[in-house]
Amino acid sequence: MAGSTTRARVLGFRVRAQQLDRESGDLADTAILDLGVQDTGPDGGRWALAIRGVRVAELTGRELATVWTIRGAPHLYWRADLASVAAAVEPFSDADAGKRIYDATKPLKAAGISNFAALDEVAAAMRSVVTAPMVKGDVSGRVATLVSPPYLRFCRSCDATHLYEMPFRLAALRAGLELQPGTSPPVLEPIDDFTRAAVVSEQHDVIRAYLRLLGPATPKDVAGYLDSSVKEVKARWPSDAVEVSVDGAAAWVLAADVDQLAGDPPAVTRLLGPFDLFLQARDRPLLVADPARAKALWPVLGRPGAVLRDGEIVGTWRPRRSGAKLTVLVEPWVEPSAALLDAITAQAERLAAYRQVRLAGIDLAT
pLDDT along the chain (366 residues), means of 10: 90 98 95 98 96 94 95 97 98 98 97 98 98 96 96 87 95 98 95 95 98 98 98 98 96 97 94 98 97 97 97 97 96 96 98 97 91
> 190 has which bridge partners?
177
Q: Radius of gyration (Cα) for the chain, nearest Å?
A: 21
pLDDT at residue 252, as a whole number: 98
Looking at residue 245, its pLDDT comes to 97
Burial pattern 229-252, b for ≥16 Cβ within 10 A else e, equals beebbeebeeeebbebebeeeebb
172, 72 Cβ separation under 8 angstroms:
no
- The pLDDT score that the predictor gives to residue 159 is 82
The predicted structure's pLDDT at residue 2: 74
- Long-range CB pairs of 144-153 (<8 Å, 24+ gap) are 147/121, 147/122, 148/111, 149/107, 150/107, 150/108, 150/110, 150/111, 150/113, 150/118, 151/104, 151/107, 151/108, 151/118, 151/121, 151/122, 153/104
